[in-house]
Amino acid sequence: MKKIWLSSPHMSGNEYKYVTEAFDTNWIAPIGPHLNKFEEDIQKYIGGSKVAALSSGTAALHLALMLLDIGEGDEVICSSFTFAASANPITYVNATPVFVDSENESWNMSPEYLEEAIKDRVSKGKKPKAIILVYLYGGAAKVNEIIAIANKYDVPLIEDAAEALGATYKGKALGTFGEMGIFSFNGNKIITTSGGGALVSTNEEYISKSKFLATQARDNAPHYQHTQIGYNYRMSNVSAAIGVGQLEILDKHVKLRRGNFEFYKNELDVDGIEFIKEFDDTYSNRWLTCITIDPKKFNGKTREDVRLALEKQNIETRPLWKPMHMQPVFEKYPFYGDRTSEFLFDVGLCLPSGSNLSQDDLDRVVGGIKDILLLNLD
């Protein structure tokens, strides 16, 4: 049986044309017309914020922290329920992560525990230097509440919108609410440049400074002169050429992924399976369709039973992110919450969600889930 992937790259055909252009004009470098166009196209797409295209979303977060002058001894608040790439850059600048739990509705950062964390850190004389707010699986967080708290305590907000390109909150692109936002174009994301990322901000200075740091911090001189440490974080023009083609069909891919979600939701409308919500005024890109499975409703069958049964049928699914405060490498750091994310990790599963899934693929996934959960129910 053909392998069904969780989320695989989906080219439109134009990418090849743009990559060929890059080859024909010999712009095989981290500079060139496709890189400029990709940045302009993203800028237009997200409503005007300035854009630096980079080698990865992780690099974008690293630069964001450096642009806020975060370093040794500083603390940075980060969503606990996320991929490690959200938190790793905090350690690159020798700062300390402080993890905040999820709330039930969005599965993203809890405003309540965010405020508790800030108050407690302030009382210990350690006012956080930034908040990294993650939008998991393409859905918004309680953005208004979080911004209100960030403003109240005057802590800059960085949005990790790596999974959320194409999603909005109150009609505005996720990633454009905070001081800075980041996107990822890794191979499994909603659009891909094979590997890549972007830093975005309405503050033009951040973006020009990020490009400077991303190209080895070269001073303005005929020779190579450096007054600070730089990085090699720029996106290549060849990758950007792929991105130009991908951005053209982003909205179409969002619709296809939203269609997958609707299909799963209709087919798996059974007591004991819950779907991640889309709440007030939010529009999710439905990067991944995620469900929770209550073993009590299925004779003790767990999400792990479902995952393993599907794996045998050559269908890739994945548990939800294991929270950072449970990770061996991060468990020594402070955590504020009520373990909502631990519960989600326990019972949650990401289903195959690519924009290139066929109806046959979707039927196979649903059939596999029904077989394991519903067949032998008394």
Residue 206's CB is within 10 A of a number of other CB atoms, namely 20
How far apart, in whole angstroms, are the C-alpha atoms of residue 208 and residue 70? 18
How far apart, in whole angstroms, are the C-alpha atoms of residue 290 and residue 138? 11
Q: Are 198 and 164 in contact (CB under 8 A)?
A: no
Residues 64-93 interacting with ligand PLP (rule: CB under 6 A): 82-83, 85-86
Helix axes 250-267, 359-374, angle to 10 degrees: 30
Q: Which is nearer to ligand PLP, 106 or 373 (CB)?
A: 106
- What minimum distance in Å lies between the beta carbon of 344 and ligand PLP? 15
Q: Which is nearer to ligand PLP, 66 or 372 (CB)?
A: 66
Q: Which of 6, 8, 32, 67 is nearest to 241 (CA)?
A: 32
Among 9, 197, 323, 352, binds ligand PLP (CB under 6 A): 197
**Region of 51-59, 68-76, 199-207, 247-255 interacting with ligand PLP (CB under 6 A):** 51-59
Among 9, 57, 323, 368, binds ligand PLP (CB under 6 A): 57
Q: Which is nearer to ligand PLP, 68 or 324 (CB)?
A: 324
Residues 132-151 interacting with ligand PLP (rule: CB under 6 A): 134
- What minimum distance in Å lies between the beta carbon of 11 and ligand PLP? 18
Helix (H, G, I), strand (E, B) or coil at 200: strand
- What minimum distance in Å lies between the beta carbon of 152 and ligand PLP? 25
Residue with tokens 């819950």: 274
Residue number, nearest CB to ligand PLP? 57
Residue with tokens 């295209």: 53
How far apart, in whole angstroms, are the C-alpha atoms of residue 177 and residue 140? 11
Q: Are 60 and 186 in contact (CB under 8 A)?
A: no
Q: Which is nearer to ligand PLP, 101 or 362 (CB)?
A: 101
Q: Give the per-residue contact string, 149-168, with ligand PLP (x = CB under 6 A; - = no).
A: -----------x-xx-----
How far apart, in whole angstroms, are the C-alpha atoms of residue 137 and residue 143? 15
Task: Summarize as ranges the residues that interact with ligand PLP (CB under 6 A).
Answer: 56-58, 82-83, 85-86, 134, 160, 162-163, 184, 186, 197
